[in-house]
Amino acid sequence: MGYYNSPEPQKKQKGYFASSFTGLIAGALLVGVVFPGFTDSDAAMQETSTSAAESTPNNIQNVSAVVTTDVTKIVDKNSATVVGVINLQTAAQNPFAPTAQTESQEAGTGSGVIYKQEGNAAYIVTNNHVVKGAEKVKVTLSDGTELDAEVLGADVWTDLAVLKVAADSVTAVAEFGDSSVLKPGEPVVAIGNPLGLQFSGSVTTGVISGTERAIPIDINEDGTEDWESEVIQTDAAINPGNSGGALINSQGQVIGINSMKIAQDAVEGIGLAIPINTAVPIIEDLETKGAVERPTMGVSIMDLQRVPMQYRQSQLKLPEEIEGGIVVQSVSPGSGAAEAGLEAYDVIVELDGKAITTVLDLRRHLYNETKVGDTVAIKVYRNGKAVNLEVELAESL
């Protein structure tokens, strides 16, 4: 108490203030040297904020910050290229329902990627299963604009389809990358519409978990594997509705078309996409021809494994050592197989010197290693004897 009433301390207090003020100036100069970017306007803004805070110390102030990352840049570049795809089909008619209720209804939704704009048209790649059975297809752009779409073509083997829409409202086109150079651990972003258009433009991130994965597919759902798709594996979340959406690399390039998700109770975090290098030639065929050109021999076939053992001996007369192969059920008149002399109940065991044990082996060889117009060497067993033939492959659309 006596300290504050004494005249001496007041003088010292004055001197202390002067000394402190001098130190403050020196400190300010030092700050000006260390942080030359701190401008007068910055100081004014800081002073205004400080004054407001001092005058109303109980106020809660919001600080606005715009965050930009590699992911946000990728999304900004590509979000307008990913669209919603709506599959419309006529529902079963109720004889007691009003006419309006028998019109086309939504049978499913998916995603698509705008990959090309030419003249008044824009082209979209999506999945075959997204538009399968559609009587009408609509496309929803990222801004909500709804367009009628024409299905130019679809391919069940690769699960790809191409759509065409009017280009008036299209503002962006995706850039394709190179899926052959992908590495496990490489970051990726998936954009699509999981669970329908309610969550349109959803973004998930992850890494490349594996490349060149082979996934068996039962096309006709008869319990037998008909084809084997090469896919990219990622842990970026891909759910129903993401099908047909884009898998994008760190450069903002589309390197895969999201296609399916392994749905098993014991499996989590496995998403699959069709490599863009595999998709491009299919897309080109679907856009220009409406179907994919693939070579065919002109036969109807089945796996030897599906023939009971007793018939292999009594009817096919196969040697006991032949355990795998393809049974010819019928031969199309005028086909390459018919011209070469292939007959029903012949058992194909080799193509171009390579062992063929299943229908999948045969399709893999024809679709991946030959083209229309090629001649393939075939070894078959007929009535217990080996026969060598040459078949010219024709076009199958």
> What are the DSSP calls for 238-301, one per residue?
--TT-TT-EEE-TTS-EEEEEEEE---TT--S-EEEEEHHHHHHHHHHHHHHSS--EEE-SEEE
Characterize the bridge pairing of strands 347-351 and 326-331.
Answer: antiparallel
The full 3-state SS of 91-126, as one line of letters, equals CCCCCCCCHHHHCEEEEEEEEEEEEEEECCEEEEEE
Per-residue pLDDT at 15: 43
The domain ranges of the chain are 2-47, 72-92+103-166, 179-286, 294-396
d(CA 182, CA 187): 10
pLDDT confidence of 68, banded at 50, 70, 90?
A: confident
d(CA 126, CA 131): 8
* Residue 243 known to be catalytic: yes
Fold of 72-92+103-166: Thrombin, subunit H (2.40.10)
Give me the catalytic one of 111, 129, 200, 335: 129
Per residue in 235-286, pLDDT tens?
998 887 889 999 999 999 999 999 876 555 556 678 899 999 999 999 999 9
Share of the chain above pLDDT 70, in %: 79
Q: Is pLDDT larger for residue 175 or for residue 368? A: 175
Kind plus residue range of the DSSP H or E element containing 257: strand 254-261
Give me the catalytic one of 200, 202, 229, 243: 243
* Residue 159 known to be catalytic: yes
Q: Would 72-92+103-166 and 294-396 be classified into the same CATH topology?
A: no
Question: Left, alpha or beta for 77 (phi > 0: left; psi -120 to 50: alpha)?
Answer: alpha
Per-residue pLDDT at 366: 92
pLDDT confidence of 97, banded at 50, 70, 90?
A: low
Query: What DSSP character marks residue 335?
Result: S
Average pLDDT, the chain: 82
Max mean pLDDT among 192-201, 216-225, 306-315 falls in: 306-315
Per-residue pLDDT at 41: 38
Per-residue pLDDT at 2: 35
d(CA 10, CA 4): 8
Share of the chain above pLDDT 90, in %: 57
DSSP code string of 178-209:
-GGG--TT-EEEEEE-TTSGGGTTEEEEEEEE
In the three-class reduction of DSSP (H, G, I as helix; E, B as strand; rest coil), residue 214 is classed as strand
Query: What DSSP character marks residue 80?
Result: G
User: Does 294-396 carry CATH code 3.40.50.620?
Assistant: no
Per residue in 109-155, pLDDT tens?
999 999 999 999 999 999 999 999 999 999 999 999 999 999 999 99
Per residue in 7-66, pLDDT tens?
334 444 444 434 443 443 344 433 343 333 333 334 334 333 444 444 455 677 777 778
Does residue 160 register a pLDDT over 70?
yes
What kind of architecture, by CATH, is found in domain 179-286? Beta Barrel (2.40)
Give me the catalytic one of 159, 285, 303, 346: 159
Smallest Cα–Cα separation from 335: which of 286, 282, 372, 292? 372
pLDDT confidence of 101, banded at 50, 70, 90?
A: low
Per-residue pLDDT at 215: 84
